[in-house]
Structure 1
Amino acid sequence: MAKVDVRMPEDFLLKISKLGNKTDEIIAKVLESGGEVVEAKVKSNLQGVIGSGTKEKNRSTGELVASLGVSPTKMDRSGNFNVKVGFKEPRKDGASNAKIANIIEYGKSGQPPKPFLKPAKRTSRKPCIEAMKQRFDEEVDKI
Structure 2
Amino acid sequence: MAKVDIKMPDDFLLKISKLGSDFDPVAEKVLKAGGEVVFKRTKSNLSAVIGKGTKHESRSTGELEKALGVTSVRLDRNGNHNIKIGFSEPRPDGESNAKIANILEYGKHGQPAKPFLKPAKSASKSECISVMKSTFEEEVKKI
Q: TM-score range by the shorter chain?
A: 0.7 to 0.9
Distance 2:16 2:74 in 1: 23
**Do 2:16 and 2:23's aligned partners in 1 also have CA atoms closer than 8 Å?**
no
Q: Please tell me whether residue 60 in structure 1 is matched to residue 66 in structure 2.
A: no
Query: What is the letter of the counterpart of residue 65 of structure 2?
Result: V
Question: Could you tell me which residue of structure 2 aligns to residue 114 of structure 1?
Answer: 114
Distance 1:8 1:113 in 2: 42
Written as runs of structure 1 = structure 2, the 5 A alignment for 1:38-117 is: 38-117=38-117
Residue 141 of structure 1 and its aligned partner are, at CA, apart by 2.1
Query: What is the letter of the counterpart of residue 130 of structure 1?
Result: S
In the comparison of the two structures, how many residue pairs are matched? 134
Residue 100 of structure 1 and its aligned partner are, at CA, apart by 0.4
Query: What is the letter of the counterpart of residue 33 of structure 2?
Result: S
Structure 1: 4+ residue segments shifted above 4 A = 12-16
**Do 2:33 and 2:131's aligned partners in 1 also have CA atoms closer than 8 Å?**
yes
1:51-98 Cα offsets, whole Å, 9 max, x none, are 111011111111101111111111122221111110000112121100
Q: Secondary structure at the match of 1:38?
A: helix
Q: TM-score, normalised by structure 1?
A: 0.86
Gaps of 5+ in 2: 1-9
Q: TM-score, normalised by structure 2?
A: 0.86
Distance 1:74 1:118 in 2: 23
Query: What is the letter of the counterpart of residue 86 of structure 2?
Result: G
Residue 15 of structure 1 and its aligned partner are, at CA, apart by 7.4
Q: Please tell me whether residue 33 in structure 1 is matched to residue 33 in structure 2.
A: yes
- Give the RMSD, CA atoms, in angstroms: 1.9
